[in-house]
Amino acid sequence: MASEEREAIDLVAADVVPAAGESASRPEPPTVRLGLPGFDEVAVVDHRAGSPEVVVTSAPGVAAALTVEACRGEGPSTEAVGAGELVVCRDLEHERRWPAFSGAVLGSRVALRRWVAVPLGVPGEAAIGSVVLASVAPGIVTPSELSVLGALADRWSLALTARLAAGREARAVVATDSVRVVGLAVGVLMASEGLSEPEALELLRGRSEESGSRLADAAVALLSERRMSFR
């Protein structure tokens, strides 16, 4: 599930900053061209580890601020993910929700005062990340900006839902096939060895432990052996 969620976040990152051409797995997040109007900097943030990790960013300022957020345990991205709602900060200089974050950022060389964080997640489930936008000039988020952000949030949510649903469907198919092949192997052992179902399952489990393989893999190996013996 973790790899699927990361792939889903990367999908959003590619939509937010389509100029990204470096691997998001590098220690330093790739710096890319800003793909959204109305803001000076943007970042896609992964929260699955419990604290913000920048996946991709348009400039070092927002990345530095999010590193501060990870250290302080508070800030716009953390609040957006925790609440599952859009977070708007008109002016960090007058922000009272995150005093440690605000003080550290304003005391540094990061000149970003207006912040917006959009949670990334599937409807009905906890958010797994966010898109954070920031600008140097303080001020309100205009209705037109909110409209664009709302449309983008819907698009990102659909992208995440589609990607995660595809991964879950694939896992369900694998799980169903695993149950089917184990059941078939148990049936073969019952018929060939005169065992009860619990005894056959225990024998198959013993083969799995001896070979250090999954139960389904042991079942496949058993069926392959029996198929060869009947030829």
Same domain (yes/no): 131, 191: no
Q: At 174, is the pLDDT very low, low, confident or very high (cuts 50, 70, 90)?
A: very low
Domain annotation covers residue 18: yes
Output the pLDDT for position 68. Answer: 92
Domain annotation covers residue 132: yes
Find the mean pLDDT for residues 40-49.
Answer: 84
pLDDT score of 191 more than 60:
yes
Domain annotation covers residue 165: no
Of 32-46, 87-101, 153-167, least confident by mean pLDDT is 153-167
Domain annotation covers residue 167: no
Q: Residues 113, 159: contact at Cβ < 8 Å?
A: no
Give the residue numbers spanning the domain of 200. 176-229
Domain annotation covers residue 159: no
Tokens of 107: 């005391």
3-state secondary structure 112-155: CCEEEEEEECCCCCCCCEEEEEEECCCCCCCHHHHHHHHHHHHH
Q: At 200, is the pLDDT very low, low, confident or very high (cuts 50, 70, 90)?
A: confident
Percent of the chain residues past pLDDT 70, beyond the cut: 69
Picking from 141, 165, 191, the residue at the C-terminal end of a domain is 141
Picking from 141, 168, 189, the residue at the C-terminal end of a domain is 141
Same domain (yes/no): 119, 72: yes
Output the pLDDT for position 72. Answer: 93
Same domain (yes/no): 183, 134: no
Output the pLDDT for position 42. Answer: 86
Number of structural domains found in the chain: 2
- CA-to-CA distance for 32 and 108, rounded, in angstroms? 22
Find the mean pLDDT for residues 54-59.
Answer: 82
Considering the entire predicted model, what is its pTM?
0.62
Find the mean pLDDT for residues 162-168.
Answer: 60
Same domain (yes/no): 127, 196: no
Q: Identify the CATH number of the domain in which residue 213 sits.
A: 1.10.10.10
Output the pLDDT for position 1. Answer: 45
Output the pLDDT for position 2. Answer: 55
Same domain (yes/no): 180, 137: no
Same domain (yes/no): 101, 214: no
Output the pLDDT for position 12. Answer: 59
Domain annotation covers residue 149: no
pLDDT digits (tens, 9 = 90+) for 94-142: 999 999 999 999 988 888 999 999 888 776 778 888 889 999 999 988 8
Amino acid at 97: R
Output the pLDDT for position 187. Answer: 80
Domain annotation covers residue 81: yes
Distances (CA, A) of 198 to 24, 181, 220, 224: 48, 16, 19, 22
Output the pLDDT for position 217. Answer: 83
Domain annotation covers residue 65: yes
Picking from 141, 167, 198, the residue at the C-terminal end of a domain is 141
Output the pLDDT for position 90. Answer: 93
Q: Identify the CATH number of the domain in which residue 14 sits.
A: 3.30.450.340
Q: Residues 127, 121: contact at Cβ < 8 Å?
A: yes
Classify strands 114-120 and 129-135 as parallel, antiparallel or unpaired.
antiparallel
Same domain (yes/no): 128, 200: no
Of 39-53, 137-151, 154-168, least confident by mean pLDDT is 154-168
